[in-house]
Amino acid sequence: MRMKIEKRLTVPKYSSILVPILSVAVALFLMGIILLIFFFGREGNLSIAFRETLEAYKEMLTWPFANKYGIFSTLMRMVPLAFVGLGLSFAYRMKIWNIGGEGQLYMGALAATWGALYLFKDVTSPVLMILLISILGAAAGGIWALIPALMKAFAKTDEIVVTLMLNYVAIFWVDYLVYGPWKDPKGYGFPGTAPFPDQARLATLFNGEFHIGFFIAVALAILLYYVYKRTRWGMNSKIVGDNAQAARYSGISIIKYTIIALVVSGAIAGLGGAVQMMGIQHRLQHGFSPGYGYTAIIVAWLAKLNPIAILLVAFLFGGLLVGNDQLQMFYKLPMALISVFQGLVLFSLLGGEAIARYRLRVSREEAVTNE
């Protein structure tokens, strides 16, 4: 008798739900071990460390979802994740790997600030102002993605490297502006611009705990769901993603589809940046995003690029970010731990997907030997 690991012909349906859930569970478990080591190092006593770990876990997993303040914070953290995740899904469907969500988000925020404080400063109607800023933010994100798009379409450069590098360019550009020419003179030396005028702020609910950017994200997810399922673009982009040769054979212009996919992807992320400025930040600041653009990659993957699922996963990850804030405040845990956790989720997700493609077979056939 011998055991053999072999490739499955079909990946079973249930694995698309089981793998994400299991991978988050595995990541939580591994994270627990890390927390335990961390507390043990601090307390020097294993049973106290164990209790601390459990409590920290409870805090991290319940606070963001169990009370009003927690849920509102979670929803507000979810909005940028959802925007960028939705944007990324648009390119990932065609197997175009836009890793530049963070940079496109920054460029959207930068353009929104430019619009609010300089370009449209004479506009008084809030509706017009918000519309103009949204368009400007989306355009900026789109243009930021147009650079790798043109390079990929015409020079066959790798979009992963170019989009990733452009993130740093965008972040440093924002830093230059907020430390330099756009720095608020009344800001006590703090690296940020002057606050947005009132007409450039999104309407809020529940005493300002919640802004309507959430509804824009939900509407966008529904729109994208329709686009993916029911339009020619949605069907053709599936063909390009599955077999680019067959797409060309079907008369689909790969160049056109590549450019549009990346630009729209960047524009949605850019819109996310503008919404973030108008909704919560109300000023451009150094490091305003704790890596939303990177976390969104995991969000899009876990959601299998389904727009509605992206909303749900973004909500969960928003909760993780809020939970991490709690841990930081009450347990004096380092900020980097949440990055560790996200890395663990991604690793177990990718590992889980690879494992799901195989199965273990036990056979009674004698092993064939060569000698």
Partner 1 sequence: MAELPVLEMRNITKAFPGILANDSISLDLRKGEVHALLGENGAGKTTLMNILFGIYKPDKGDILMEGQRISISSPHNALKYGIGMVQQHFTVVPSFTVAENVVLGLKEMGFFVKTKTVESSIKKLGESYDLPVNPRARVWTLSVGEKQRIEILKLLYTGAKIIILDEPTAVLTPQETEVLFKAIRKLVSEGSSVIFISHKLDEVLQISDRVTVLRGGRFVGTEEIGSIDRRSLVRMMVGRDVLLDFDKPKTEPGKIVLEVEKLTVKNDKNLEAVRDLSLNIRSGEILGIAGVAGNGQRELAEAIYGLRKPIRGTVRLNDKKLGSSDIAQRIEEGVAFIPQDRRALATCPSLSITENMFMKNAHSNYIPQSPFNVNIRAMQKATEELVRSYSISTPSTKTPSRFLSGGNLQKLVLARELSTKPCLIIAEHPTRGLDIGAMEFVYRTLLAHKERGAAVLLLAGELYEIFRLSDRVAVIYEGEIMGYTPPDPKFTEEIGFMMAGSRQGEIA
- Contact between 235 and partner 1 by CB under 8 A: the answer reads yes
CA diameter of the chain: 86
236 binds partner 1 (CB under 8 A): yes
Q: Which residues contact 288 (CB under 8 A, 6 or more apart)?
A: 109, 276, 281
**x/- site string to partner 1, residues 245 to 264, per CB under 8 A?**
xx-xxxxxx-----------
- 243 touches partner 1 (CB under 8 A): yes
Q: What share of the chain is helix, strand, coil (3-state, %, to 5)?
A: 70, 5, 25
CA 260 from centroid of its chain's CA atoms: 20
Show the tokens assigned to 153: 């379409």
User: At its nearest, how many Å lie between partner 1 and the CB of residue 298?
Assistant: 23
DSSP state of 328: H
CB 81 within 8 A of CB 326: no
231 binds partner 1 (CB under 8 A): yes
Taking the least distance from each CB to partner 1, the nearer of 119 and 239 is: 239
Residue number with CB closer to partner 1 (207 or 370): 370
- List the one residue from 242, 357, 361, 363 that touches partner 1 (CB under 8 A): 242
Query: Which of these ranges, 137-145, 227-235, 276-284, 312-320, lies near partner 1 under the rule CB under 8 A?
Result: 227-235
Question: At closest approach, how far in Å is the CB of 14 from partner 1?
Answer: 17
**Position 231: which residue type?**
T
How much is the CA Rg of the chain, to the nearest whole Å?
23
Give the residue, chosen from 13, 156, 186, 232, that forms a contact with partner 1 under the rule CB under 8 A.
232
Strand blocks (E) in the chain: 2-7, 204-205, 210-211, 358-363
The single residue among 183, 238, 286, 304 that binds partner 1, judged by CB under 8 A, is 238
How many chain residues interact with partner 1 (CB under 8 A)? 24
Pick between residue 158 and residue 242 the one whose CB is nearest to partner 1. 242
Minimum CB separation from partner 1 for residue 113, in Å?
34
Give the nearer residue to partner 1 in terms of CB position, either 58 or 256.
256
Contact between 230 and partner 1 (CB under 8 A)?
yes
Residue found by looking up tokens 């992206």 in the block: 310
Q: Which is nearer to partner 1, 172 or 226 (CB)?
A: 226
For 207-217, letters b (16+ CB in 10 Å) and e give eeebbbbbebb
Contact 89, 299 (CB under 8 A): no
Task: Please state, in angstroms and rounded to a whole number, the distance separating the CA atoms of residues 39 and 35.
Answer: 6
Q: Does 370 bind partner 1 (CB under 8 A)?
A: yes
Residues lying near partner 1 in the complex (CB under 8 A) are found at 10, 229-236, 238-239, 242-243, 245-246, 248-253, 368-370
